[in-house]
Structure 1
């Protein structure tokens, strides 16, 4: 079960699901051994009735009856103990698999949007719960009991061949029903799973965008849109239930008929003098026990199919794993950022958004990246912080590519403020500290002051300890942006990438942003600012212009802006005049 306690920050490569199951091999073997003992002990009732009818009643021996009853009670007590232990082991196998795969599953969910292709959202967590629930239920015990059917068949043949063949015919019929159940429910189960996943994604999207849904009167339209997936789900589940229910009722009826047939055939054999009364009762009990696992298998068929499909999805999602953390990482970067002939496409896409971009920044420099909409500015920002892949070229910090550092260490060297600010349900301090379990209070306060958010936070109810709600719902847009800026500046990261950092800021916020960029430069950091509003460029010394994914110019701010303005003049030179001179940056920052 060692996989359950893995503490690696990223999953190791390999078939994680198979490895987790393999780690439970000993426990499964123990369950198999207990099942063998249990199925032998389940012969107790048949043997007891056989002895009572054939030995105790003819001899009228009370001591023999008492001795047999004591032995049977002890056997039943042992049977109950082994059944309890078997179920407990299976429950713990389910919990161990859940613990072993929980971190890889969550990593897969969190990284899914960054990989492109089909995003299953929360489906994988539901799949993991489905597998654990199945392993902790009656399903596995039924599967472990099925191989022992031949034991009861052999017992019936020993009692009389007619009884044995009757049981064989019944078992074949029940197995046929089980196989028919598998064939007929396969497609509805698959359809229900697919429709459930689609409906879940649509519901989550509607919940996440509740404000725009209410404001624009889109509620009924979204409900109608989700209705198709919901109807598909209900219809598939209904087909599945109808098939499984009908065949389950048929198997139960057949089993009752077989038990009565064994009793009737046993009575015939007694009348003909071919068997004793004990044989008639024992055969009925043994036949019932032989057919019970088949009937149970039919009743658990839907959960079994669901767990099997969930396991297949887990294997597909976790099969390749993720690259493990390097054993030896470079020192923290403190000198330079180098972008060399970088081409970037969206995750899972093939069309390049940024083409052959190259530039370099030294410690203490800041660059403003400007350009029209859809020029590739945010794409470049995502690649710089390592969340979008690079098709060609290299991004290096102090000569090392980003993947040479473990994710947590790399994240500590990078501050990132995305265009769409996302905060998490927690306190203001927890959000600024990036949910570090050991919050550095001094670093939180320093980051808040660096972002110009300290006084603002103090005015909030409970200050730094205020819970902000999901996605920062209790805060205004400007408050969220300044807290997210403080998060980006937490513990003085070497490279700070800010995408449209002043989109929701007022004049006071703009001034705080400018001061924050100056502080980054003054302490020897690097700042990359994606900007549409000229005020965001006040503290940068370099400007890079992008158009159609190509770098058009890169160099000193005044020079690049002058050339850009000459190529695309604005009325009255307003754009250029709105950009403060970089010479206001302290000398230490500009060096």
Structure 2
């Protein structure tokens, strides 16, 4: 089977390949820097073999000035190399950060919980690795055989000694890679799972404290943390052993090279200057290999980050250019839609089909776990379907430009999530604040007078996730956000779950207004008032649409049909 070239393997690989010119420049500057690294060796040879022999101060001055100029060129080439790589890494981040953001965002759709930050950490690992010492070691490694060749030129036995140490260091690097990659990945995975689990539990800190669950949580965390620390200790022990062996080999090389050179000087086969120069060259030749041994953990982390990021971008490709369309009227159609969740074999929705014309108010009823919330997410295009199609104005909802479609959709989830910032910013969907539209939406949701009583009115900061507001206030601000800008399709999932009588009245007033404007409204509810405003009622049971039609006809038929007591009670409350 023909192997796919690296630069064609994935989107991430192609992005890296676009920086080949920068890496070529860095390689050229590395060539110059390593060539100039020979200057100290040549200077020593001149000092020991020419200056000391001739006792010439002028020769010493000339050699020193030339060497100083070479050192300045060396420093400049290394600075330019680092600058090229840093600029390339920043451009790489700008090029991929938006894609990583959208890929992470798409990965979280259909999952419970906030967007994970791991992909951004992976991108940062790759960016930092591309400007770190490991990359410089890779650029310097090809010079190892050149330095060894120069040592052979000084004396064959010193060349054989340097070659032997190079092979030992390379074997140690290969062994280190084999021994450290898997443990390092296990540690990162265990640490991530432990922290994620703890953060998830701490979101419900009030429940933990009020019911005395903190001690139980601590014992659970202690077990996970201890297991993570054990894996970390094993991994660190392996790295420490490798570093110890590497240090032993490095010190042995320095001493044995100097001893071997001294023996050759005693035998008259080598000059003192060549002895010192060979020792310096040998240390320089083995330095890149020694650096590679010390950075294997960075290699392992970067490789894992690259593979995770590569998979993320492959699983969630960027949206192709979607042509602009006219604003939707709100006609929505589901054709044989089935939808499920990862890790669940039985689908949540099963072959659901219906068509709702624009301007219709629909009440969605059904017992808990029947798939009502999933249906709401499917209709606004944030839950993947395994079969069927969701059409908005006859066009699959996936074929709409999400940025253009968003203002024409309104969605209030069952668990209302607000964002840090002001009340006005939340109602205006974190975009440009149109004061008239914000006040209009707040008035429709019955929150205008309440907001004006806050210390700074609409500019009042609500805290992280709106934690400075009550549950009912959060729900009504979420309702105002859903109807902001007069959208064509509004989906409200249990919009009155936290509302008092005044809030319920405001919700019904908002639904009446939307109905009068000819908007399509879906209300997932069990309360009588919202059902009374509906033109049409849908009943879901076990993910199947068991009833759909005009409100009165569906409710009458549901009462006549034999059904479990719990479901009957829910419909009685609705009626």
Shared fold (TM-score, shorter chain, > 0.5)? yes
Query: Deviation at 1:335?
Result: 5.2
SS at match of 1:319: helix
The answer as to whether partners of 2:391 and 2:397 remain within 8 angstroms in 1 is yes
CA deviation digits over 1:68-120, x for unaligned, max 9?
10010011111111111212222223322222222222223322232569999
Q: Secondary structure at the match of 1:372?
A: coil
Task: Map 1:307-318 onto structure 2 (within 5 A).
Answer: 307-318=302-313
Distance in 2 (CA, whole Å) between partners of 1:118 and 1:524 is 35
**Matched residue of 2:429: which SS?**
coil
Out of 22, 40, 47, the residue aligned to residue 45 of structure 1 is: 40
* 1:99 counterpart residue number: 94
- Cα deviation for residue 347 of structure 1 reads 4.9
- 1:162-199 CA-partner distances (Å, limit 9, x unpaired): 11011111111111221221111122112101101211
Report the counterpart of residue 522 of structure 2 in structure 1: 528
Partner of 2:493: 499
Matches within 5 A, 1:410-425: 410-425=405-420
Which segment drifts farther, 39-48 or 81-90?
Answer: 81-90
SS at the partner of 1:553?
A: strand
Q: Name the CA distance, whole Å, in 1 between partners of 2:112 and 2:473.
A: 34
Partner of 2:142: 147
8 Å CA contact 1:384, 1:395 repeated in 2: yes
Query: In structure 1, how many angstroms separate the alpha carbons of the residues matched to 2:172 and 2:503?
Result: 71
Distance in 2 (alpha carbons) for counterparts of 1:147 and 1:82: 17
> Contact 2:414–2:495 (CA<8 Å) still a contact in 1?
yes
Which of these residues, 294, 297, 308, is aligned with residue 299 of structure 1?
A: 294
Correspondence list, 1:193-208, <5 A: 193-208=188-203
Give the alignment of 1:530-549 within 5 angstroms: 530-549=524-543
> Do residues 21 (structure 1) and 12 (structure 2) align?
no
Q: Which residue of 2 aligns with 1:338?
A: 333
1:555–1:31 CA distance, 2 compared to 1 (3 A): same
1:74 lines up with 2:69 in the alignment: yes
Distance 2:550 2:86 in 1: 65
* Structure 1 residues 51 and 366: CA distance shift in structure 2, 3 A: same
SS of aligned partner of 2:348: strand
Q: Identify the range of structure 1 (560-569 vs 295-304) with the bigger mean alpha-carbon deviation.
A: 560-569
Shift in Å at residue 372 of structure 1?
A: 1.4
Partner in structure 2 of residue 113 of structure 1: 108
- Offset at 1:574? 9.2
2:443 matches 1:449:
yes
Match of 2:265 in 1: 270
Task: Answer yes or no: is 1:123 the counterpart of 2:118.
Answer: yes
Distance 1:119 1:426 in 2: 18
Q: Is the 8 A contact 1:192 1:232 kept in 2?
A: no
User: Where does 1:223-262 land on structure 2 (aligned, <5 Å)?
Assistant: 223-262=218-257
Which of 207, 226, 238 is matched with 1:212 structurally? 207
1:463 aligned residue (443, 454, 457) = 457
Give the superposition deviation at 1:219. Answer: 1.7
Cα distance in structure 2, aligned partners of 1:411 and 1:486: 15
Alignment of 1:275-290 (within 5 A): 275-290=270-285
> Which of 485, 503, 507 is matched with 1:509 structurally?
503
TM-score, normalised to structure 2's length?
Answer: 0.93
CA contact (8 A) 1:347 1:389 kept: no
Decide whether the 8 Å contact of 1:42 with 1:79 is kept in 2.
yes
Q: 2:61 & 2:260 partners in 1: Cα distance? A: 30
Q: Distance in 2 between matches of 1:331 and 1:406?
A: 11
Cα distance in 1 between the residues matched to 2:93 and 2:281: 37
Equivalence map 1:351-362=2 (5 Å): 351-362=346-357
Gaps of 5+ in 1: 1-12, 581-591
Shift of 1:534: 2.0
In structure 2, distance between residues paired with 1:495 and 1:242: 59
Cα distance, 1:235–1:93 mapped onto 2, change above 3 Å: farther
Tell me the SS of whatever aligns to 2:249: helix
User: Using the alignment, how far apart are the partners of 1:227 and 1:109 within structure 2?
Assistant: 30
Residues 91 and 137, structure 1, Cα contact 8 Å, conserved in 2: no
Which one of the candidate residues 432, 437, 442 is aligned to 2:427?
432
Q: TM-score, normalised by structure 1?
A: 0.91
Residue aligned with 1:493, SS: coil
The 2-side partners of 1:18 and 1:321 are apart by: 16
Residue of structure 1 in register with 2:25 after alignment: 30
2:473 equivalent in structure 1 = 479
SS of 1:351's equivalent? coil
| Secondary structure at 1:338 match in 2 | strand
Matches within 5 A, 1:380-399: 380-399=375-394
SS at 1:419 equivalent = coil
Q: Which moved more, 1:55-64 or 1:93-102?
A: 93-102
Q: For the Cα contact (< 8 Å) 2:512–2:533, is it kept in 1? A: yes
- Aligned equivalent of 2:482: 488
Change (3 A) 1:189 1:354: same
Deviations 1:357-384 (A, max 9, x none): 2222222210101111222211111111
Q: Is the 8 A contact 1:402 1:410 kept in 2?
A: no
Q: 2:539 matched to 1:567?
A: no
How many residue pairs get matched? 566
Q: Distance in 2 between matches of 1:551 and 1:55?
A: 97
Task: For residue 353 of structure 2, give the secondary structure of its aligned residue in structure 1.
Answer: strand
Q: What is the CA deviation profile of residues 380-404 of structure 1, one whole-angstrom value per residue up to 9, with x for unaligned ones?
A: 1111111112222222121111012
Supply the distance in 2 between the matched residues of 1:579 and 1:204 (Cα, whole angstroms). 38
